[in-house]
Amino acid sequence: MRLGTRRSLMATTQSQMVADAYTRRTGRAIELVGVTTFGDVTKAHLAQLGGTGVFVSALRDKLIEDEVDFAVHSLKDLPTKQDPRFTLAAIPARHDHRDALVGPHKFADLAPGARVGTGSPRRVAMLSALRPDLEYVPIRGNADTRIGKVASGELDAVVLAAAGLTRIGRGADVAQIFEVEELLPAPGQGALAVECRADRADLIEFLGVLDDPRTRAAVTAERAVLAALEAGCAAPVGAYAADDGHTLGHTLNLTAAVVSIDGREAVRKSAAGSPSEAANLGRLLAAEMIAEGADRLMGEHSH
What residue ranges in 91-200 does DSSP mark as E strands? 99-102, 115-117, 135-137, 157-161, 174-178, 192-197
The predicted structure's pLDDT at residue 38: 60
User: Does the active-site annotation cover 133?
Assistant: no
User: Does the active-site annotation cover 76?
Assistant: yes
Q: How far apart are CA 257 and CA 26, in angstroms?
A: 40
What is the reported pTM?
A: 0.89
CATH 3.30.160.40 domain residues, the chain: 218-301
User: Does the active-site annotation cover 115?
Assistant: no
Q: Which of 77, 96, 99, 295 is catalytic?
A: 77
> 117 and 124 in contact (C-beta within 8 Å)?
no
Q: Which of 6, 60, 76, 269 is catalytic?
A: 76
Q: Which of 167, 200, 233, 269 is catalytic?
A: 233
The predicted structure's pLDDT at residue 62: 94
Q: Which of 62, 131, 140, 283 is catalytic?
A: 140
Fold category of 218-301 in CATH: Double Stranded RNA Binding Domain (3.30.160)
Q: How far apart are CA 99 and CA 97, in angstroms?
A: 7
Q: How confident is the prediction for the chain on average, in pLDDT?
A: 89
**Domain 2-93+191-211 class in CATH:** alpha beta
Q: Which of 146, 170, 200, 216 is catalytic?
A: 146
User: Does the active-site annotation cover 296?
Assistant: no
Report which of residues 283 and 235 the model is more confident about: 283
Q: Which CATH entry fits the domain spanning 99-178: 3.90.1640.10, 3.40.50.300, 3.40.190.10, 3.30.300.350?
A: 3.40.190.10
The predicted structure's pLDDT at residue 42: 52
- Per-residue pLDDT band at 15 (split at 50, 70, 90): very high
On the question of pLDDT at 48 being above 50, the answer is no
User: Does the active-site annotation cover 196?
Assistant: no
CATH 3.40.190.10 domain residues, the chain: 2-93+191-211, 99-178
Q: Which of 122, 149, 167, 197 is catalytic?
A: 122
Residue range 9-37: mean pLDDT, rounded: 93
Residue range 13-41: mean pLDDT, rounded: 88
Measured from the Cβ of residue 181, the count of other Cβ atoms closer than 10 Å reads 8
The predicted structure's pLDDT at residue 46: 45
On the question of pLDDT at 255 being above 80, the answer is yes
The H helix count followed by the E strand count for the chain is 9, 13
Q: Which of 6, 60, 94, 123 is catalytic?
A: 123
